[in-house]
Structure 1
């Protein structure tokens, strides 16, 4: 528009401002649309800029002649690497479990977020963990949280192999904890790094013990009976009746060692099943808790635990529902002596991340308070109907049945041997069909 204004100004130097306005109103431009005026202005400006005496025609640009600047790929071969271990914590209810999955899941996984952050910051060369000696301590299910989970893997380093051996060079190393916490969601936090794990270290196989806690509300439960029943888990037992039987894993040995099994008070009306063991089967803790809740409700005797652990007396797993996933957390993992380097709590970064976690805690606290207000404003039944039984599954809702059936009288699943055999047969049949299709 500046050129059009100058054009009018230069052609009407002797005319007063009022005369200019009248002259402009009498021109044919008054009748033009906005689009026509803009087009004309652009034509006039192109004439001025290029010194042409004819309206500038729109030029076509040959895209093939335009060279785009290619993004330079990061060359990991030009950088050193080192094997480290990372300790981290997470709240599990926003994730589809810990481990990355081969297929897409409804929610992201915790490992998926961590590997994505590492890949984004060029700490690892790809999103495929198997390519850099990746290992995890304990695999948690969807909804389950962890306070001290550990992974080990090979990552990019600022130091040479020789420099990595000397602790005095640690300040020159990449700030792994800081970088990852910058990129991770607030409900996944890296707490420490071990720059020199013991020789032959593996996050899964080097773990001495795993410590779980399952939180539950004491209402309607006999805590003394649960304490007595939980102690029956301690020792070396066959836990095939306390896990999910899966033929794809082809597990034949279900013996596991439980170091400690207790019922502890947490706060107010909340207790926890506190469990320490060397290793656990799939869904083992939730199955153990489901049976403890049956004892606590008085639906089963304390002797249920011993009967279920006796494979001669209960050779096949009775059909029952597992306890809910949300109250379960992997509280700690014990390893041989390691040089864990935690964040400097006195610097700005630590304060910033601490505030983020504080904000997250306040967020959930406010939500819990609002839910309680919501609950108190609604009418509720004083007690359950006497004609039905509500089985406590740890989720607050439970499962309602018309008549409770004792565990010893229930239908049972196929034996471990049968489940493994059926899986292998299906696998062979699928492989045969695939082979025939290729031919």
Structure 2
């Protein structure tokens, strides 16, 4: 469509106030474009008037649009962390682990998010930390839990953005003026991760990992067809300092040579008529240690092994290499508590509306799982589920309800053994050297 035709089409909609006839065919291009702009502007104004919008409303709308544009530009502008002070804090939190690929951020992408990654993502979103790289803000975690494992009193320490100057941070009377870290994070985090308390002034030299005095684990299990008394006797044998290389997963990448750990408390506790737990307190634990310990306790409880198995496995002169066996399931394991030196933890006021909102979400989540659990029990009862008849086979209890069914049970100390600690470490070093050589070549 030519410029003249377009002007005439618009002019029919918005007639020129003056009766003067204009000869558009004699106009140059620039003049025609100016005329189109005038007519389109007048048409828009008449359309606004037709909808009943007053000039004041139209003007207000234009200002609002400009304001939204400014907000958008401000939002797009990178957050300048250099304008704010930071402070070193500790956070206490709890999480249900079955929706996560463990606590710690992984180097490689994982099918499920990690708890730590979810928390740091929330912190980054509300501008508490500048990046998703923990090394940028002196990050440390108390206990590293694996995929599926839950925690009730996990602790991390790190530097975060602060509203206060370094001097003001030392004054407890100004704590209420500080960022409400607990509330802000609970607003963003999913319902199965909850921050319960913050310590604004951790002890000097505090580190969430190395300042922990002991870690308390609990492993839940049903007592069906298990000799609980024999399990109690077995559990007590873990107490004291022992070499636990036969009760963990060997990891060559860590090049561990000392597998001695001290267990302060080890027992079997009854929770209710059907549920029990393996209650364990120690200063530090090896990779998959609790699940390996529980797997052997199940064997004793089923009568497949004697109580002496635990003593034999702890004696590395007698059992020098770890026999091949399956670990207990991950879901029933809980990092129940972590103990630290005296610290000033600040919890949310339970009568405060902000805390009530978070509590409501936790209650709703817990009720949801209870209802599903009840429905699942009815489902199993309706189908008359019975695992007692296995046609002469043996089901090894692994804590997950399914276990491992074998035709003939093979005694633990008669099985094949895994590589020794020295062999595992040496194999890893050779693989690493081989990869380094291939990269250089």
- Normalising by structure 1, report the TM-score: 0.85
CA distance in 1, matches of 2:227, 2:212: 34
Say whether 1:399 aligns with 2:404. Answer: yes
Offset at 1:48?
3.4
Who is 2:225 aligned against?
220
Match of 1:249 among 250, 254, 267: 254
CA distance in 1, matches of 2:295, 2:330: 11
Say whether 1:48 aligns with 2:13. Answer: yes
Say whether 1:122 aligns with 2:122. Answer: no
Offset at 1:250?
0.5
Match of 1:176 among 169, 178, 181: 181
- The answer on whether the counterparts of 1:96 and 1:106 sit within 8 Å (CA) in structure 2 is yes
Who is 1:388 aligned against?
393
Who is 1:415 aligned against?
420
Match of 2:309 among 304, 314, 329: 304
Alpha carbons of structure 1 residues 166 and 403: separation in structure 2 relative to 1, 3 Å: same
Offset at 1:46?
7.5
Offset at 1:45?
6.5
Aligned length: 391
CA distance in 1, matches of 2:354, 2:326: 45
Who is 2:30 aligned against?
none
Offset at 1:49?
5.0
1:224-243 pair list within 5 angstroms: 224-243=229-248
Deviations 1:142-189 (A, max 9, x none): 000000000000000011111111111101100000000000001100
Deviations 1:359-398 (A, max 9, x none): 0011101111111121122143462225200000000010
CA distance in 1, matches of 2:108, 2:12: 60
CA distance in 2, matches of 1:344, 1:210: 27
Who is 1:7 aligned against?
none
- The answer on whether the counterparts of 1:47 and 1:56 sit within 8 Å (CA) in structure 2 is no
Who is 2:149 aligned against?
144
CA distance in 2, matches of 1:45, 1:349: 58
CA distance in 1, matches of 2:272, 2:240: 28
Alpha carbons of structure 1 residues 268 and 79: separation in structure 2 relative to 1, 3 Å: same
Match of 1:197 among 191, 202, 227: 202
Q: Secondary structure at the match of 2:145?
A: coil
Alpha carbons of structure 1 residues 331 and 44: separation in structure 2 relative to 1, 3 Å: farther
CA distance in 1, matches of 2:111, 2:231: 36
Q: Secondary structure at the match of 2:167?
A: helix
CA distance in 2, matches of 1:139, 1:190: 17
Offset at 1:431?
0.2
Deviations 1:209-267 (A, max 9, x none): 00000000000100000000000000000000000001011000000000000000111
Q: Secondary structure at the match of 2:428?
A: helix
CA distance in 1, matches of 2:114, 2:330: 15
1:60-75 pair list within 5 angstroms: 69=73, 71-75=76-80
Who is 1:428 aligned against?
433
Say whether 1:134 aligns with 2:139. Answer: yes
Alpha carbons of structure 1 residues 255 and 56: separation in structure 2 relative to 1, 3 Å: same
Q: Secondary structure at the match of 2:90?
A: strand
CA distance in 2, matches of 1:430, 1:411: 30
Who is 2:300 aligned against?
295
CA distance in 1, matches of 2:130, 2:12: 53
Which runs of no fewer than 5 residues in structure 2 stay unpaired? Answer: 1-7, 25-34, 41-68
- The answer on whether the counterparts of 1:286 and 1:322 sit within 8 Å (CA) in structure 2 is yes
Say whether 1:323 aligns with 2:328. Answer: yes
Instruction: Please tell me the root mean square deviation across aligned C-alpha atoms, in Å.
Output: 2.4
Q: Secondary structure at the match of 1:349?
A: helix
Which moves more between the two structures, 245-254 or 381-390?
381-390
Offset at 1:72?
1.3
Who is 1:341 aligned against?
346
Offset at 1:69?
3.7
Who is 2:83 aligned against?
78
Match of 2:371 among 353, 357, 366: 366
Alpha carbons of structure 1 residues 421 and 47: separation in structure 2 relative to 1, 3 Å: farther
